[in-house]
Structure 1
Amino acid sequence: MNVLTTEEAAKLLKLSQPTMNRFRVKGDGPVYVKLGGAVRYRQCDLETWLESRTTRSTSEERAA
Structure 2
Amino acid sequence: MSAQHPNPQKAVAKRYYTTEEAAVILQLDKRTLQNWRYVAKPDGPPYVHIGGAVRYPVQAFNEWCDELDSQASNDPNTHRNQRR
State the TM-score, normalizing by the size of structure 2: 0.60
Aligned residues: 59
Unaligned runs of 5+ in 1: 60-64
Q: Percent identity?
A: 37
SS at match of 1:29: coil
Unaligned runs of 5+ in 2: 1-13, 79-84
- Aligned with residue 5 of structure 1, among 5, 18, 21: 18
Partner of residue 62, structure 1: none
Distance 2:28 2:60 in 1: 16
State the TM-score, normalizing by the size of structure 1: 0.76
Runs of 4+ in 1 over 4 A off after TM superposition: none
